[in-house]
């Protein structure tokens, strides 16, 4: 996940991260803003989504506690039609897609054109 954060950061994407993730990113030189979990106070991550500060969520919860805590983020993201990514593979593909679009080197084709 770290390489994708670094790539997003160099593309000018603002990253919001919860306490533990932010500490890891800071330690590795990736700028990020603190995203407060629901039980930690306000304004929290759901407020940030509601107020339009978040355009995409990459959340890879670990363990039962992580999956439970992640449900309110997922529900809010869905409610506000924010893309919600839960796997490292999907995050990597998404970042690669954003890089391609930002580079201006986009060539849209139908599936039939690829199958020849």
Whole-model pTM: value is: 0.75
pLDDT in tens, 17-69: 889 888 988 888 888 899 998 889 999 999 999 999 999 998 887 766 666 66
Sequence ranges of the domains in the chain: 2-115
Question: What superfamily does domain 2-115 belong to in CATH?
Answer: Methylglyoxal synthase-like domain (3.40.50.1380)
Q: How many CB atoms lie within 10 A of CB 78?
A: 12
Q: With beta carbons less than 8 A apart as the criterion, state whether 85 and 57 touch.
A: yes
Tokens read off for 108: 């849209």
């Amino acid at each position: 996940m770290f390489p994708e954060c670094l790539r997003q950061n160099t593309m000018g994407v603002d990253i919001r991260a919860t306490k533990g993730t932010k500490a890891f990113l800071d330690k590795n030189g990736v700028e990020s803003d603190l995203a407060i979990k629901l039980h930690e106070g306000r304004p929290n991550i759901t407020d940030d989504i509601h107020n339009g500060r978040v355009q995409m969520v990459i959340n890879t919860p670990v363990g039962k506690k992580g999956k439970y805590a992640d449900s309110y983020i997922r529900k809010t993201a869905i409610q506000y039609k924010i893309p919600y990514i839960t796997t490292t593979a999907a995050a990597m593909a998404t970042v690669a897609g954003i890089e391609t679009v930002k580079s201006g080197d986009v060539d849209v084709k139908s599936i039939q054109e690829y199958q020849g």
